[in-house]
């Protein structure tokens, strides 16, 4: 059921919040992760990313969020996949997963990232979000065994 204005008939759509995440690897094939300094998943690791702002494309968001959280300049190359989290911490969220390569900057944790670093996909820390796990699994063609935190 959607809310409709009884006077003009305009539908008030309540849509999921759009967001992005990005897989970035270094020369050794290690995966860039950030340690969250905020909820949900505070203290756990995740891919760089965040919510799409008004007037911003998903690719612009990937570039901005990566710079804010890691200090790195990137060029997004392609979409890996898209996932949804229904009734989560921030309500319903759509997450678009990208792959990108670094073109400049210096790795420095910032914004809502407490730490940032590269990890071997064979030895990943605890990850905060199922959607990020799915992007990693699809990109690297692996299966990650992890605790289900429900984020």
Which residue numbers are catalytic?
115
Yes or no: say if 76 and 63 are a contact pair by the CB < 8 Å rule.
yes
DSSP readout, 66-134?
HHHHH-EEEEEEEEEEEEEEEEETTEEEEEEEEEEEEEEE-----TTEEEEEEE-TTS---BS-HHHHH
């Amino acid at each position: 059921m959607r809310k409709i204005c009884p006077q003009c008939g305009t539908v008030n759509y309540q849509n999921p919040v759009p967001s992005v995440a990005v897989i970035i690897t270094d020369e050794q094939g290690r995966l860039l992760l950030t340690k969250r300094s905020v909820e949900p998943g505070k203290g756990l690791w995740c891919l760089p990313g965040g919510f799409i702002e008004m007037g911003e494309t998903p690719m612009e968001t990937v570039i901005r969020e990566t710079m804010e959280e890691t200090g790195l300049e990137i060029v997004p190359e392609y979409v890996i996949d898209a996932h949804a989290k229904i009734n989560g911490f921030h309500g319903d969220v759509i997450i678009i997963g990208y792959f990108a390569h670094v073109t400049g900057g210096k790795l420095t944790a910032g914004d809502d990232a407490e730490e940032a670093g590269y990890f071997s996909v064979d030895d990943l820390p605890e990850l905060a979000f199922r959607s990020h796990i799915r992007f990693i699994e699809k990109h690297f063609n692996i299966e990650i065994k992890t605790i289900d935190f429900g984020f």
